[in-house]
């Protein structure tokens, strides 16, 4: 809908290393809302729901590991699955 306060976009596919890579973005129509606002909460829920759908799609295609990159909401990248040798954690 054109009057939505945010837009969530997702691109996903297998990387060269066989990991399912999800690029998730949220764009705010009027700029990033203040931390703690209901709007930013709704946007983050929509972003996480889209990531979950793509994770399920990746699993259906045989993915056993996923790497998620998120932008537009003040968070860092998250990897889910078995850690790679040399990864901190």
Could you read off the pLDDT of 23-56 as tens digits, one per residue? Answer: 999 999 988 888 778 998 898 899 999 999 999 9
pLDDT of residue 36: 79
Those residues with Cβ within 8 angstroms of residue 7's Cβ, 6 or more apart along the chain or in another chain = 26, 27, 29
Could you read off the pLDDT of 46-83 as tens digits, one per residue? Answer: 999 999 999 999 999 999 999 999 887 555 445 556 65
Task: Show the tokens assigned to 28.
Answer: 């705010």
| Distance in angstroms (rounded) separating the CA atoms of residues 42 and 47 | 9
The more confidently predicted of residues 28 and 3 is 28
Query: How many Cβ atoms sit within 10 Å of the Cβ of residue 71?
Result: 14
The pTM of this model reads: 0.75
pLDDT of residue 76: 47
| Domain extent listing, the chain | 6-80
């Amino acid at each position: 809908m054109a009057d939505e306060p945010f837009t969530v976009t997702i691109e996903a596919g297998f990387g060269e290393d066989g990991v399912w890579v999800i690029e998730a973005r949220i764009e705010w129509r009027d700029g990033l809302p203040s931390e703690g606002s209901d709007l930013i909460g709704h946007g983050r829920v929509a972003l996480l729901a889209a990531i979950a759908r793509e994770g399920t799609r990746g699993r259906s295609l045989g993915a056993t590991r996923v790497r998620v990159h998120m932008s537009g909401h003040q968070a860092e990248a998250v990897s889910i699955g078995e850690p790679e040798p040399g990864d901190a954690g």
